[in-house]
Amino acid sequence: MTLIVNGETKEFKDNLTLQNIITELQIENKVMAAAVNMNIVKKDDWNSFVPKNDDKLELLQFVGGG
């Protein structure tokens, strides 16, 4: 399955959940919010939400600044 993650095209196995994708990208400790096709997916739903081919994922992390 092809997904666009934060503007980059990436390939994944079919039927992975959003949580599986975040884990596979090794960013599970960094992601605070996720949107698929500009729709927010609640963190409680990450384990059950399965993106479709060509979906656009935005995985957001909060960054502190001064």
Taking only the tens place, the pLDDT of each residue in 6-64 is 999 999 999 999 999 999 999 989 899 999 999 999 999 999 999 999 999 999 987 76
Per-residue model confidence (pLDDT) at position 63: 72
Per-residue model confidence (pLDDT) at position 16: 97
21's tokens: 């994708």
Q: Count the neighbouring beta carbons within 10 Å of the beta carbon of residue 50.
A: 14
- Is the pLDDT at 3 greater than 70? The verdict is yes
Segments in the chain forming alpha helices (H): 18-24
CA torsion, points 28, 4, 18, 40, in degrees to nearest 10?
A: 100
45 to 8, 57, 63: CA distances (angstroms) = 23, 14, 23
CA-closest candidate to residue 22, choices 45, 66, 39: 45
What does pTM read for this prediction?
A: 0.89
Per-residue model confidence (pLDDT) at position 26: 95
Per-residue model confidence (pLDDT) at position 61: 84
Q: What's the fold here for domain 2-60?
A: Ubiquitin-like (UB roll) (3.10.20)
